[in-house]
Amino acid sequence: MFSFDNLGNVITTVLSVVALLFFVSAGYNLHLRRKAERAAAAARDAEKLDSLRPVGLKPYEGADPQGVAWAARREIMRVLARKPHSAVVNGESVDVAALIADLATLRYTTTPHEHAKTPLKAFIATAVGQINLWLERDPEDRHKYWVFHPGLESTRATALGFISTNLLDAFEPEAEPVS
């Protein structure tokens, strides 16, 4: 039944099983940890984005509009970096790579400007969703567009910045409906 002659083999077998269980458990724990880290990162991203949506606030209440514009620019650029697959401006498809390249040059300025009555409406589709932007043509420079994010109260009133592009020359803003 049991003999001391096989004791070495029994101990080796038991230690091998324990080591195997240890490595399987460690691998599973690593898997769970990475899954929790990804979930935490996604929650932080959602929290950042939610912090940009001051529900019911007037454009300049609750947050510094320049700070909100900076945070919105950062978030928009992060989303646009995820390989957008289509872009539409005022209902017409445009070269998505060219539009993203132009938006990547978005420059912030504190110089005030006149708001256009009818901005160009841009929709950019990415794997993580759609971004809506308003592009207002500068009255003095036809190739300069002020970029707004209509999804946030503060960024409807405060420009995220401006871009210079020839891509949108053919577009005219949609006419306002007559009341």
Q: Residue 124 CB: number of other CB atoms within 10 A?
A: 23
Residue 40: per-residue pLDDT:
72
Separation of CA 66 from chain center: 18
Residue 101: per-residue pLDDT:
86
CA–CA gap between residue 79 and residue 130 (Å, rounded): 9
pTM of the model: 0.58
Residue 29: per-residue pLDDT:
92
CA–CA gap between residue 120 and residue 122 (Å, rounded): 6
Residue 25: per-residue pLDDT:
93
59 burial level (CB within 10 Å; 0-12, 13-18, 19+): middle
Nearest-5° angle of CA 160, CA 38, CA 76? 10
Residues 79-89 pLDDT 10s: 777 778 888 89
Low-confidence ranges of the chain (pLDDT < 50): 52-62, 177-179
CA–CA gap between residue 59 and residue 13 (Å, rounded): 71
